[in-house]
Chain A
Amino acid sequence: MQGRLRPLGSERAWLWIMLAPTLAGIAFGTAGSLLASGVLSLTAWDLINPPSWAGLGNYARCLGDPKFLAAVRVTLRFAALYVPLCVALSLALALLLNRGLRGQGFFRAMFFAPSITSAVAIGLVFTWIYAKDEGLLNRLLQVLGLRPVNWLGEGAIFYAVTIANVWGALGEGMIVLLAGLKAVPATYYEAATIDGAGGARKFFRITLPLISPTIFFQVIIATVNGLQAFEYIYMLTRRSQGESTMATVVYLIYRNGFRWFSMGLASAQAMILAAVIVLLMLAYFRLEKRLVVYD
């Protein structure tokens, strides 16, 4: 069957024509940009004067730069909280919706809504909810007779920002995990019931192993997103001068590149972030062999 669909003669030309826009995009857009970032990271360039060779200077500067190291710490700390929260809460929502509720489609749509609303618009609301004076949350606390909290002040801001980010990501994880749950054959549960297995046992022995590929996929997505989180951080932590009270690596790169136009330094920092993401992926895929069950 497939043999007849093999491109022949003049059709080979069409194959390349059909692929051309995509290949050009990948070559110039993605691969080209990655390569260019790599080269730029070895130079010092302010966009005005011609770039000068810096060798590994930018990388060395990063390692000794307290601002960058602080940003790395914040980013890792954020991801370490964001990823498990995202996956666990999405899974909890998916489990809740997988219990044969009536109106499941409606609830699924409602839970999903945050994922597709503009993060900037919702970030804006979060600034009002968290605001110190007249903020919704603090006014609620006052109604309850509690003392107001400076949600966007030092200390609390980290958790406030994490909650906003998790809130924005729950829906997508929930949909994917729900589909995973639905793919588990009902006969497995029936057999387990006959054998006298309880709810917890069924969850740990059937559900969890069978949806482990989906959970694994979700952990990867959350990690990639968590390390690059920007919108909510930009909306919630930006000060009037443009600096952030919770500068993550992405935020720092944004400032170095597009406020101070230190293109070489910003590129080096971006390359370091990309390398961290790649290394984490590799680590995950090593772990996958041990933790994930494929039948």
Chain B
Amino acid sequence: MSRPKARPLLYVAVLALCAAILAPYSWLVISSLSRRVELTAIPLKWLPKSPNLENYREIAAGSSGVNASLKVGLRNSLAIAGSSTAFCLIAGSLAAYVFSRLRFRGKGLVFSLILLTQFMPMIVLIIPIYVVMGKLGLLNTIPALALADCAFILPLVIWLMSSYFESVPRDLEEMARIDGCSRFGTIFRIILPLSTPGLAASGIFAFIIAWNEFFSALVLSSTLRSKTISVIISEYSSKVGVDYVAMAAAGVVASLPPVILALAFQKYIVQGLTAGAVKG
């Protein structure tokens, strides 16, 4: 569209923006690979002489106090994000199937209500959730945090999956029904296998959101039993005499799973974000 002359300038602008946008993350990675002396050196050293992997090794070993809790936090984060994603994919795709294929009274209303809950501020829900979890003795447990995550992942999965099911031809399903396949049979043998891309997109989305969820994790866990890696990082970051380099390594570890997932499955992310958003 633009004249060929303007092209190089455009690339320069995009590259410069890329650098600016990636700067904080790059600084996190560089810090994690530096030594403390190098980070505070004057004049400023941009890159460490040789990468220092000591902190990553220590987190993996989980030997000392901070590193031991980081390792537990990492495990908690995985368990919480993994279980809430799995649950929401199952419950969400069944519900989405109902909304896209079956007819019943009040369907439109129920569907809009479910989508509306996505906009419900977490802050309004968290106090009763905290109280109820406390009464059930579930505070500081992984199920409590996973359930809280479901509050906003489930509507998202239902939304994404029901728009995906619309693209799966109904004829196949009808033929299977005529051949004697049960309703559940058609879901598990025809609909779900054909919807793998949709399931992948929803799953990645759900996992990333659950992994990054901070507020409910902060409120619902006060012991190491259920603290996520984000909560642990946020705590250590405010302590006096915090070891920058160790925290930077922890920060990289905490942000790695979503970044890897998103880069590997970029196509799905775009699908997920734009489903329904463009048509308005």
Bound Cα distance from A15 to B13, whole angstroms = 54
B278 CB contacts on chain A under 8 angstroms: 176, 179-180, 183, 213-214
Q: Which of chain A's residues have a CB closer than 8 A to the CB of B95?
A: 18-19, 21-22
Nearest Cβ on chain B to A239's Cβ, whole angstroms: 8
- Contact (Cβ within 8 A) B17 A120: no
B219 is an interface residue with CB less than 8 A from chain A = yes
| Assembled-state Cα–Cα distance A120/B247 (Å) | 11
Say if the beta carbon of A279 comes within 8 Å of chain B: no
Write the nearest CB–CB distance from A93 to chain B, whole angstroms.
7
Is there an interface contact between B128 and A30, defined as CB atoms closer than 8 Å?
Answer: no
**A179-B278, A266-B127 known; A18 vs B25 contact (CB < 8 Å):** no
Which residues in A have their C-beta under 8 angstroms from that of B247? 124
Identify the stretch in A55-63, A66-74, A97-105 within 8 Å (CB) of chain B at 4 or more residues.
Answer: A97-105
Q: Which label, helix, strand, loop or mixed, suits the secondary structure of the A interface?
A: helix
> Whole-angstrom distance between the alpha carbons of A143 and B44 in the complex?
9
**Complex Cα distance A140/B20, Å?**
14
Asked if A273 meets B22 with Cβ closer than 8 Å, knowing A120-B233, A257-B127, the reply is no
Among candidates A26, A110, A121, A240, residue contacting B252 with C-beta atoms closer than 8 Å = A121
Q: Contacts of B125 on A, CB cut-off 8 Å?
A: 29-30, 33-34, 37
Contact B170 A109 (CB under 8 A): no
The reply to whether B219 and A258 form a contact with Cβ atoms under 8 Å apart is yes
> Which chain A positions have C-beta within 8 A of B28?
121-122, 124-125
Q: Does B188 contact A (CB under 8 A)?
A: no
Interface membership of B124, Cβ < 8 A: yes
In the bound assembly, the distance between CA atoms of A33 and B121 in angstroms comes to: 11
Distance in angstroms between the alpha carbons of A129 and B117 in the assembled complex: 36
Determine whether the beta carbon of A119 is less than 8 Å from that of B123: no
Q: Which residue of A lies closest to B77 (CB)?
A: A118
CB distance from B102 to the nearest CB of A (A): 5
Contact A167 B40 (CB under 8 A): no
Q: Name, among B1, B174, B278, the residue most crowded by chain A CB atoms within 10 Å (CB to CB).
A: B278
Distance between B64 CB and nearest chain A CB, rounded to angstroms = 19
Q: Which residues of A contact B270 (CB under 8 A)?
A: 108, 175, 179
Q: Is B137 an interface residue (CB 8 A)?
A: no
B273 interface hit (Cβ, 8 Å): yes
User: Given the complex, which residues of A lie within 8 Å of B218, measured CB to CB?
Assistant: 234
- Contact residues in A for B167 (Cβ distance below 8 Å): none
A246 → chain B closest CB, angstroms? 15
Q: Which of A30-74 contact B (CB under 8 A)?
A: 30, 32-34, 36-37, 40, 47
- The residue of chain A having its C-beta at the shortest distance from the C-beta of B44 within the complex is A139
A-side contacts of B262, CB under 8 Å? 109, 112-113, 116
Interface residues on B, range: 35 or more
The reply on B57 being an interface residue by CB < 8 A is no
Across the interface, which residues of A come within 8 angstroms of B154, CB to CB? 22, 25
- A266's closest neighbor in chain B, by CB? B127
B274 within 8 A of A: yes
Asked if A263 contacts B277 (CB within 8 A), the reply is no
A76–chain B nearest beta-carbon distance, Å: 15
Q: Mark B214-235, 1 if CB is under 8 A from A, else 0.
A: 1100110000000001110110
A residues 117-153 in Cβ contact with B at 8 Å = 117-129, 134, 136, 139-140, 143
Tell me if B151 counts as interface (CB < 8 A to partner A).
yes
Interface residues of B in 183-211 (CB under 8 A from A): 183-184, 208, 211
Closest to B134 in A: A47
The smallest C-beta distance from B81 to any residue of chain A, in angstroms, reads: 11
The answer, among B22, B104, B122, B248, for a CB contact under 8 Å with A110, is B22
Residues A32 and B128 in contact in the complex (CB < 8 Å), given A25-B154, A128-B27: yes
Indicate whether A188 reaches chain B with its CB closer than 8 angstroms.
Answer: no
* CA distance in complex: A231, B228 (Å): 14
Determine the chain B residues whose CB is within 8 A of the CB of A134 once the complex forms.
39-40
> Do B14 and A176 touch across chains, with their CB atoms under 8 A apart?
no
Cβ of B280 under 8 Å from chain A: yes
Contacts A99-B1, A124-B233, A266-B127; A107 near B14 (Cβ below 8 A):
yes
Distance of B239 from chain A, by nearest CB (Å): 9
Q: Is B103 an interface residue (CB 8 A)?
A: yes
Which of B127, B158, B237 has the most A CB atoms < 10 Å from its CB? B127
5 closest residue pairs by CB, A with B: A213-B280, A121-B251, A36-B128, A21-B91, A179-B274
* Contact sample, A vs B, 13 pairs, CB 8 Å cutoff: A4-B177, A5-B170, A18-B98, A22-B114, A108-B266, A110-B21, A118-B230, A120-B230, A121-B233, A213-B278, A234-B214, A250-B123, A267-B127
